[in-house]
Amino acid sequence: MREVKYRAWDNVENKMYYPGEEENIHFYFDSSGIVAERFIEEEVCTPEGERGMYGGTEKLEHHKYMQYTGLKDNASEEEHPMEIFESDILFDPVNDEYYIVTWDESYANFFLKNIDDSLGKPDYDFAEYDTDVCDGLYVVGNIHENPELLCDSNVR
């Protein structure tokens, strides 16, 4: 069974959040799925003129959530293998090809989608290839922090 992890892209702050790495952001699940809230503290004044600190939360509804695939890339022994998440861009040095990790709800599975769709190259189903699908591939970025990698002329 794979470890359940998520990360969130904040398209307002242009920043990736990982649960547990931010002091003031809390991730949890509710009936609609994963939710992120920011803890806020502000000074308030009561009708009697007393000042105090108020702690509350603000839902961060603009986040784009990405699941962890349960796999890591093929980093060398000197490097730390990176966890592979949905929306990551992977590089295959043997075939000089780039892939985006996607989630297909209808199949309830991850796929590697070739960036250069125009050539009719195949996509790879994680279930079909099990963990071997990512052998030899390296995380080079993700579609949110590195959109320049999506343009074929920029990755070659």
DSSP secondary structure string, 88-148?
Answer: EEEEETTTTEEEEEEEETTTTEEEEEES-GGGTPPPEEHHHHGGGGGTT-EEEEETTT-GG
- Whether residue 23 is found in the same domain as residue 76: no
pLDDT in tens, 74-86: 875 567 888 999 9
Q: Answer whether residue 1 is part of any domain.
A: no
Backbone angles phi, psi at 102, to 5 degrees: -125, 160
Which pLDDT value is given to residue 156?
46
Q: What's the chain's average pLDDT?
A: 81
Q: What is the pLDDT of residue 133?
A: 65
97 with 57, same domain: the answer is no
Both 77 and 53 in one domain: the answer is: no
Whether residues 76 and 36 share a domain: the answer is no
Supply the range of the domain harboring residue 77.
66-155
Does 28 lie in the same domain as 88? Answer: no
**How open is the CA angle 25-31-37, to the nearest 5 degrees?**
15
pLDDT, tens digit, 9 for 90 and up, residues 89-137: 999 888 888 889 998 888 888 888 888 765 555 577 766 555 566 778 8
In the prediction, which pLDDT does 153 show? 41
